[in-house]
Amino acid sequence: MVIDCHGHYTTAPKSLQTYRERQIAELDSGSRASTRGDLGIGDDELRESVQPQLTFQRDRGTDVTIFSPRASAMAHHIGDAVTSLHWSQHCNDLIARVCGLFPENFVGVCQLPQTPGVAPDNCVEELERCVTGLGFIGCNLNPDPSGGHWTAPPLTDPYWYPFYEKMVELDVPAMVHVSASCNPNFHTTGAHYLNADTTAFMQFLTGDLFARFPTLRFIVPHGGGAVPYHWGRYRGLAQDMKRPPLTELLGSNVFFDTCVYHQAGIDLLLKIVPVDNVLFGSEMVGAVRGIDPETGHYFDDTKRYVDAAAVSDEDRRKVFEGNARRVFPRITARFAVAP
Amino acid sequence: MVIDCHGHYTTAPKSLQTYRERQIAELDSGSRASTRGDLGIGDDELRESVQPQLTFQRDRGTDVTIFSPRASAMAHHIGDAVTSLHWSQHCNDLIARVCGLFPENFVGVCQLPQTPGVAPDNCVEELERCVTGLGFIGCNLNPDPSGGHWTAPPLTDPYWYPFYEKMVELDVPAMVHVSASCNPNFHTTGAHYLNADTTAFMQFLTGDLFARFPTLRFIVPHGGGAVPYHWGRYRGLAQDMKRPPLTELLGSNVFFDTCVYHQAGIDLLLKIVPVDNVLFGSEMVGAVRGIDPETGHYFDDTKRYVDAAAVSDEDRRKVFEGNARRVFPRITARFAVAP
């Protein structure tokens, strides 16, 4: 079985965007609705909207996608906590409906109603609703709800602890995933995403979060940002700072996905990072949508790179399935391990 | 000849730090001196202070270091433009003196008196003084003088043009190099440096800066941040955005150094990035100071990795010397090409 741990609903029906635009317009006009309103999206529209993902799954030979709302559209920096809650609930409900329509193909991960300056305690309820009510198996946690101004405390700060306590209680991991950048310095998918990955990893390296929360688990997406390429730098920094070796720091707490869009990058990732800490992911349909003229295949068809990497079949199975089951234990209630 | 394009004066005599601490204390007390004062550092102290660099050059088989003030200590976010000017002039003067004492071993690159909210027009004079007066061959340009709050416009914005015009006139490149982070999210050497590299590259990819300044040259240090590891992502983004291929975008304008502290990282860099766009650098004595227990050699002894990489001798000579001469043409007045 091949589990893609990183897929966003980037092909949602247009009405979702229309809702969001109306929500933002109401903010601007000061006439914000106090109720969250309806999307008015039918099941047929939903079925139609995920045909690209289903086709890619079939063509590429993957089985199930751990599916979450479009990351760049979370835009936690827009409006306030109520804006974010209404928007998150709608986005999460759509994911739940897609997962209900195609239970063999998708399992849900939720967006959180984060907002700048508000402690993530306010996200506990939505996480609980999604996990216990909608059958979701994880969440996307934004380390920078300000959208590129980085005004929240580091992920190792007690600011985040109440949310982590709920994650631990529910036994769900978080993918550390920022949203769109509203800082003109940072291109969203070409800089902000990767910077956030690198930043979060270094926060984990310097903090003692996992001594306090030994079962807390994070996926650092996009292949871990700059980290595997600079593995020597991080090993050296950890050593200079008298921190444990990186392999120990990763342990069963920090994982990278395989959203790296060329063979040499995946080769480096799988050569350098302990295989137990790598989860297959493609970010499909996502950041890069074209076909690589050098290979004739989609840039984000990461399964091809993992298939071609010099690792044992046993290790490849870990990357494709086994590790995802450890990190997202709730997936096994939905997809039993093959006998 | 082996030219190390990336060395900072991290071993300066203690009096330099004492000066800086006094300068900051005066800022805090509101009694800022209107003159820049003296450091009171003798030549013997300077000679003594660079013995580590000289020893490393000898031991590692490198010849000359392109030498600049300690990057993390630039701290453009402290004080105002006058603070930064006094501090930069002192730091640059020390570099000039070291280069004068060891003219076979060091050639200077300057720090700039940047300050948040002030356009870099105010750096033109110090650049000119350093290049025409002190024999420097380049500068370090900080894309984020705020120290991790990213409040300046992107490097492709006309905000920077007056400074670029002087760079072009003097025919000197800039290394894009941030300083210490005062944002608790970003560890200085483990996140902020690499994020800035990634960010700057993506700015160059999306902008049209080099159409306007065809001879402007930037070194993106630390191996280009996350970029080579994510080369497929950047090729794909460029294609999706209808930008030219990356090799064309790099052209004779954007270069990466080899400050990547493990063999697999250097192997990827030299396999993926056009060899004409890679300059040897070590960041010595710098971010990572320890010995790698896996190899028994210093993490930042990057010459070993380049020596061991699967490239032709001709390509290795480009990385060690030829490319640095193209990017820093003024170096050849100081170090003639071997007959």
What are B233-271's pLDDT values in tens digits? Answer: 999 999 999 999 999 999 999 999 999 999 999 999 999
What are A236-268's pLDDT values in tens digits? Answer: 999 999 999 999 999 999 999 999 999 999 999
Angle at A186 between CA A184 and CA A190, to 5 degrees: 135
**Tokens 């050296």 label which residue?**
A236
Indicate the pairing of strand B297-298 with strand B291-292: antiparallel
Kindly list the residues from chain B whose CB atom is less than 8 angstroms away from the CB atom of residue A229: 223, 226, 228-229, 260, 265, 268
Distance from CA of A305 to the nearest CA of B (A): 12
Identify from B72, B198, B305 which residue to disrupt to test chain A contact, counting A C-beta atoms within 10 A and taking the largest count: B198
- Are the beta carbons of B99 and B67 closer than 8 angstroms? yes
A283 catalytic residue (yes or no): yes
pLDDT at A339: 74
pLDDT at A28: 85
pLDDT at A102: 98
- Read off φ and ψ for residue A5, nearest 5 degrees: -80, 0
**What does the alpha-carbon distance between residue A145 and residue A178 come to, in Å, rounded to a whole number?**
7
Residue B27: other Cβ atoms inside 10 A: 15
Q: Which residues pair with A257 in a beta bridge?
A: A279
Kindly list the residues from chain B whose CB atom is less than 8 angstroms away from the CB atom of residue A293: 239
Q: Which of A225, A230, A267 sits opposite B260 (nearest CB)?
A: A230
Six token digits for residue B289: 């100071």
Among the options B48, B128, B283, B294, which is catalytic? B283
Six token digits for residue B109: 């690159």
What are A277-311's pLDDT values in tens digits? Answer: 999 999 988 889 999 999 999 999 999 999 999 99
- Are the beta carbons of A147 and A183 closer than 8 angstroms? yes
pLDDT at B63: 97
Nearest CA in chain A to B195: A195
Q: Give rounded-to-5 percent helix, strand, coil for chain A.
A: 50, 10, 40
Contact A229 B232 (CB under 8 A): no
What are B197-219's pLDDT values in tens digits? Answer: 999 999 999 999 999 999 999 99
pLDDT at A34: 72
Residue B36 — pLDDT band, cuts 50, 70, 90?
A: confident
Dihedral of alpha carbons A26, A32, A38, A39, sign: positive
- Distance from first CA to last CA of chain A, Å, rounded? 12
Assign residue A93 a region (left: φ > 0; alpha: ψ between -120 and 50; beta: otherwise).
Answer: alpha
**What does the alpha-carbon distance between residue B97 and residue B93 come to, in Å, rounded to a whole number?**
6
Kindly list the residues from chain A whose CB atom is less than 8 angstroms away from the CB atom of residue B287: 233, 236-237
Contact B272 A288 (CB under 8 A): no
**Residue in B187, B14, B270 with CA at minimum distance from that of residue A234:** B187
pLDDT at B70: 98
Mean pLDDT of chain B: 96
**What does the alpha-carbon distance between residue A260 and residue A140 come to, in Å, rounded to a whole number?**
19
Q: How far is CA A38 from CA A18, A201, B229, B293, B318, in A?
A: 11, 38, 43, 60, 62
Contact B194 A234 (CB under 8 A): no
Q: What's the 3-state SS for B209-250?
A: HHHHCCCCCEEECHHHCCCHHHHHHHHHHHHHCCCCCHHHHH
Q: What is the pTM of this model?
A: 0.98
pLDDT at B32: 75
**Residue in B193, B113, B201, B192 with CA at minimum distance from that of residue B155:** B201
Kindly list the residues from chain B whose CB atom is less than 8 angstroms away from the CB atom of residue A264: 231, 268, 271-272
Percent of chain B predicted with pLDDT > 70 = 100
pLDDT at A165: 98
Residue A55: other Cβ atoms inside 10 A: 11
pLDDT at A133: 98
- Are the beta carbons of A152 and A146 closer than 8 angstroms? yes
Q: What is the pLDDT along chain A (339 residues), one digit of tens a residue?
A: 999 999 999 999 999 999 999 999 999 888 777 788 899 999 999 999 999 999 999 999 999 999 999 999 999 999 999 999 999 999 999 999 999 999 999 999 999 999 999 999 999 999 999 999 999 999 999 999 999 999 999 999 999 999 999 999 999 999 999 999 999 999 999 999 999 999 999 999 999 999 999 999 999 999 999 999 999 999 999 999 999 999 999 999 999 999 999 999 999 999 999 999 999 999 988 889 999 999 999 999 999 999 999 999 999 999 999 999 999 999 999 999 887
**Tokens 């190899």 label which residue?**
B295
